[in-house]
């Protein structure tokens, strides 16, 4: 079976006849395509790295360059050699000028049609996506755990709306399974410099329900376990399906298992995350993973109502520490925050105060709090 790569096909159609390696404009070269977060062109501008994203106009957020149906913007990177804002905007304009001549036909060809299955097998084309100090790995796009505050939907729902206008596919009802992820990963582990690999819910939980049937996350872990070099590996989840793979994680030379846990109150959890594992299940998972010798961590994002002391106690099993992040927009969760019991939790002030209270409580309990993408020591050789 030949798998589709619908987003990759759209990108190549929009950019045709250009291919990776070609110049889009003087000094601007398109090197590679990233489709795990939508459409991102990894380019260089006079030899300096520059990532340019295309999003549907409906999802434009601070973009300054537009075509008829798309917005074009550059992604902030971590390199000190980044182009200036003016240079980046000029590069976006060059991409937009090329795409504008093709987008109407390319988007019409890419329209998915209303009868597409909710679970699709696709080819992602790549497994590891370079995030500077680590690689992101996600065998799935879309997540049927379907938390309504999930900010991943802001990346994917506008594309679904643009490409499947006849369909009604709310976040949480569909998933694309990148069935080539294990084979791509096997190849990339031989070619790329080792860095930590993070399987985390930026765009999809690695242990959402479809994993029980397809086992793509497991296959990827097996590829990592069999690699000729050791690769630090992190798994972050809101599901306890990861239990099925504890032995596999234990067998990796350096593995971290983390849970996202935004509250210790299971009634609150059921209101905001009805399809995720219960609070008790996630805490028990941390305990069991730590007892099995795995490094454990936790992420609290967003902050949800519930007693801070109980949350702090639950997080004591995250021995490698806790990362805390506030609500990044309500996304589709507005009606959940409308309930009188939860209204206060949508405000930035409450989110910040709750985060501060949790930090102080964790400090008193001796649980480290970390910032950024990786727990301390994970990036160390
Ligand atoms: S489990 Fe994670 S990726 Fe899935 S919907 Fe919830 S927040 Fe989003």
Q: How far is the CA of 283 from the centre of ligand 1 (A)?
A: 18
Angle ∠(67,71,76) on CA atoms, nearest 5: 140
Ligand 1 contacts (CB < 6 A) are 143, 145-147, 150, 152, 201, 204-205, 238, 276
Q: How far is the CA of 2 from the centre of ligand 1 (A)?
A: 29
Tell me how far apart the alpha carbons of residues 144 and 300 are, in angstroms, rounded to a whole number.
20
Tell me how far apart the alpha carbons of residues 92 and 63 are, in angstroms, rounded to a whole number.
10
3-state helix, strand, coil in the chain (%, to 5): 40, 20, 40
Instruction: Look at residue 1 in the predicted model and tell me its pLDDT.
Output: 41
Q: How far is the CA of 105 from the centre of ligand 1 (A)?
A: 33
Instruction: Look at residue 376 in the predicted model and tell me its pLDDT.
Output: 84
Q: How far is the CA of 143 from the centre of ligand 1 (A)?
A: 6
Given ligand 1 and candidates 198, 204, 235, 277, which is best to mutate, with the most ligand atoms within 8 Å of its CB? 204
Instruction: Look at residue 130 in the predicted model and tell me its pLDDT.
Output: 87
Nearest Cα to Cα of residue 285 among 237, 223, 354, 324: 237
**CATH architecture for the domain at 119-370:** Alpha-Beta Horseshoe (3.80)
Rg, the chain, Cα only: 21
Helices (H), the chain: 6-15, 85-100, 103-110, 153-163, 181-191, 210-214, 216-226, 246-251, 266-272, 279-291, 308-314, 334-338, 348-365
Q: How far is the CA of 147 from the centre of ligand 1 (A)?
A: 5
What digits encode the pLDDT tens for the residues 352-369? Answer: 999 999 999 999 999 999
Tell me how far apart the alpha carbons of residues 172 and 177 are, in angstroms, rounded to a whole number.
14
Given ligand 1 and candidates 237, 276, 336, which is best to mutate, with the most ligand atoms within 8 Å of its CB? 276
Phi, psi of 199 (to 5 degrees): -95, 105
Contact 259, 238 (CB under 8 A): yes
In sequence order, what are the residues at sequence separation of 6 or more whose Cβ sits closer than 8 angstroms to the Cβ of residue 304?
262, 263, 265, 268, 269, 272, 342, 345
Q: Write down the domain spans for the chain.
A: 6-110, 119-370
**Most distant pair of Cα atoms in the chain: their distance:** 60
In sequence order, what are the residues at sequence separation of 6 or more whose Cβ sits closer than 8 angstroms to the Cβ of residue 311?
261, 263, 264, 300, 358, 361
pTM for the model stands at 0.89
Q: How far is the CA of 5 from the centre of ligand 1 (A)?
A: 23
| Atom 8 of ligand 1, residue of closest alpha carbon | 150
């569909």: which residue's tokens? 174
Tell me how far apart the alpha carbons of residues 150 and 270 are, in angstroms, rounded to a whole number.
15
Given ligand 1 and candidates 238, 241, 325, 332, which is best to mutate, with the most ligand atoms within 8 Å of its CB? 238
What digits encode the pLDDT tens for the residues 144-160? Answer: 999 999 998 988 889 98
* Local confidence pLDDT in tens for the 381 residues of the chain: 445 778 889 999 999 999 999 999 999 999 999 888 889 999 999 999 999 999 999 889 889 999 999 999 999 876 667 899 999 999 999 999 999 999 999 999 888 654 567 888 988 889 999 888 899 999 999 999 999 999 989 888 899 888 876 667 889 999 999 999 999 999 999 999 999 999 987 789 999 999 999 999 999 999 999 999 999 999 999 999 999 999 999 999 899 999 999 999 999 999 999 999 999 999 999 999 999 999 999 999 999 999 999 999 999 999 999 999 999 899 999 999 999 999 999 999 999 999 999 999 999 999 999 998 899 888 665
């Amino acid at each position: 079976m030949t798998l589709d790569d619908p987003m990759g096909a759209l990108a190549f159609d929009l950019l045709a006849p250009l291919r990776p390696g070609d110049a889009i404009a003087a000094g601007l070269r398109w090197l590679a395509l990233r489709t795990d977060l939508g459409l991102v062109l990894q380019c260089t501008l006079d030899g300096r790295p520059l990532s340019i994203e295309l999003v549907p106009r409906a999802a434009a957020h601070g973009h300054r360059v537009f075509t008829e149906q798309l917005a074009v913007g550059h992604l902030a990177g971590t390199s000190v050699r980044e182009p200036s804002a003016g240079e980046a905007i000029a590069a976006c304009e060059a991409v937009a000028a090329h795409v504008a001549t093709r987008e109407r036909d390319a988007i019409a060809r890419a329209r998915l049609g209303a009868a597409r299955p909710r679970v699709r097998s696709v080819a992602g084309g790549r497994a590891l996506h370079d995030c500077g100090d680590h690689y992101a790995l996600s065998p799935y796009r879309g997540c049927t755990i379907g938390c309504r505050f999930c900010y991943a939907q802001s990346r994917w729902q506008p594309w679904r709306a643009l490409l499947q206008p006849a369909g009604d596919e709310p976040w949480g009802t569909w998933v694309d399974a990148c069935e080539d992820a294990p084979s791509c990963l096997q190849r990339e582990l031989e070619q790329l410099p080792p860095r930590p690999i993070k399987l985390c819910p930026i765009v999809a939980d690695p242990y959402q329900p479809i994993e029980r049937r397809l086992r793509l996350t497991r296959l990827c872990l097996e590829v990592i376990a069999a690699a000729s070099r050791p690769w630090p590996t992190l798994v972050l989840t809101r599901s306890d399906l990861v239990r099925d793979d504890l032995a596999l994680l234990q067998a990796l030379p350096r593995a971290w298992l983390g849970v996202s846990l935004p509250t210790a109150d299971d009634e609150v959890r059921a209101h905001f995350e009805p399809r995720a594992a219960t609070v008790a299940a996630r805490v028990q998972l941390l305990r069991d993973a730590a007892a099995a010798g795995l490094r454990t961590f936790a992420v609290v994002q967003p902050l949800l109502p519930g007693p801070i002391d109980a949350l702090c106690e639950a997080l004591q099993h995250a021995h490698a520490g806790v990362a805390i992040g506030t609500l990044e927009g309500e996304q589709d969760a507005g009606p959940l925050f409308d309930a009188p019991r939860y209204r206060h939790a949508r405000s930035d002030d409450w989110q910040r105060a709750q985060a501060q209270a949790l930090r102080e409580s964790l400090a008193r309990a001796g649980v480290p709090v970390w910032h950024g993408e990786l727990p301390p020591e994970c990036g160390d050789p």
